[in-house]
Amino acid sequence: MINRERILNEFYELVQVDSETKHEEAISVVLKQKFGELGLQVVEDDTREVTGHGSGNLICTLEATPGHEAAPAVFFTGHMDTVVPGNGIKPRLDDDGFIRSDGTTILGSDDKAGLAAMFEAIRVLKEQNIAHGKLLFVITAGEESHLIGSRSMKPGTFQADYGYALDCNGSIGEMCTQGPTHAQIKIKIYGKAAHAGVSPESGISAIQVASKAISRMPLGRVDHETTANIGRFEGGTETNVVCDYVYITAEARSLKDDKLAVQVDKMRKAFEETAEEFGARVEFDSHVIYPAYHFDNDSQVVRVAFQALEQIGLKGSTFKSGGGSDVNMFNGLGIPSINLSVGYEDIHTTKERIKADDIVKLTEFVVAIIQESVKEKKA
């Protein structure tokens, strides 16, 4: 069913197009041409103006085959950008069956393995006259820049009943069905400067306030569903000056919205109460950058995936993640979606690798999902 040589050659082609995050111009041109040549309607949204990246997000539509217009509209998503160092990638297939770079760059299987699987799946549908409902392929820019592409996408940019990201670590058949909500936090503490040797009692050390506040709040692994971290702490000038200003960045994550709210409130109170004790002033700003999602195995988006895996003889399993992805944003836009494991390993490093067989298996999985979705009714 899958043309192994063709898909591997396409993967090699894609990873050799430079596309480090913020610089997606070249890969965007290639992707638009490829989807267009396959007969899809290709639209680039207007988020480029908001993000400052080299491309907007691409929404590529393949209309349903005649007689299957009533089937659920399904979308598949991946991202076009890579992390650094991602220029001048030279892929090679080693004797152990893994594809790697030459060791001076990443490989780019995150997420060009997913993109290659999409293209091959479309070709297989057409060559074998496989019936399908309306399909959308949503390719985001800036995923590696804190999901800026999908975060900038407007509600209603595309319509689908459910969908799948091809952008997760793990073995083919593993599916992330639960992801966290994430609060980004910025804190400014204003103390009072004074000479540290002559009159330290006249000052209020913002560093001391910040340190005591941080010692009073739960951090790290708060519980099995919640984490929190202080990521950056800066302030002060010379050792003979009582520091009058500190700037802190932090985050909190939880698989449950109510737990996130509780954690952020504890962090806020620790800073505010400590500042009051010392006579300092604090500005605490927190906002949620993406929502949580959670799907049970009997939900349509998960059930269809399990049925597809059974069709191709693979075992499926689900897991929860503490990290965010474009899936969080699409669920926030009201489109049920989960993240499928691609099989890549050691991503974001020069040791990144992926089994050639896994790119083929991923494509089989995508085709099987499309076949199973035709049997479904719209939710």
Would residue 273 show up in a list of annotated catalytic residues for this protein? no
160 token code pair: 């689908």
* Tens digits of residue pLDDT in 143-165: 999 999 999 999 999 999 999 99
Q: Under DSSP, is residue 23 helix (H, G, I), strand (E, B) or coil?
A: coil
Distance CA 150, CA 329 (A): 6
Q: Please answer whether residues 236 and 243 qualify as being in contact, where contact means their C-beta atoms are separated by less than 8 angstroms.
A: yes
278 token code pair: 């010392």
Give the domains, in start order, of the chain with CATH numbers.
4-179+292-374 (3.40.630.10), 181-290 (3.30.70.360)
Would residue 81 show up in a list of annotated catalytic residues for this protein? yes
* Tens digits of residue pLDDT in 186-221: 999 999 999 999 999 999 999 999 999 999 999 999
Single out the catalytic residue among 24, 81, 161, 372.
Answer: 81
Residue 175: C-alpha distances to residues 4, 65, 179, 303, 313 (Å): 24, 28, 11, 11, 16
* Tens digits of residue pLDDT in 101-158: 999 999 999 999 999 999 999 999 999 999 999 999 999 999 999 999 999 999 999 9
Phi, psi of 318 (to 5 degrees): -120, 160
CA 46-52-53 angle, to 5 degrees, is 85
| Buried/exposed code over 283-306 (b: 16+ C-beta within 10 A; e: otherwise) | ebebebbbbbbebeeeebbbebbb
Q: What is the pLDDT of residue 366?
A: 98
Residue-level pLDDT, tens digit, the chain, 379 residues = 899 999 999 999 999 999 999 999 999 999 999 999 999 999 999 999 999 999 999 999 999 999 999 999 999 999 999 999 999 999 999 999 999 999 999 999 999 999 999 999 999 999 999 999 999 999 999 999 999 999 999 999 999 999 999 999 999 999 999 999 999 999 999 999 999 999 999 999 999 999 999 999 999 999 999 999 999 999 999 999 999 999 999 999 999 999 999 999 999 999 999 999 999 999 999 999 999 999 999 999 999 999 999 999 999 999 999 999 999 999 999 999 999 999 999 999 999 999 999 999 999 999 999 999 999 988 7
The Cβ of residue 154 has, within 10 Å, a number of other Cβ atoms equal to: 10
Distance CA 3, CA 55 (A): 30
Single out the catalytic residue among 10, 20, 143, 358.
Answer: 143
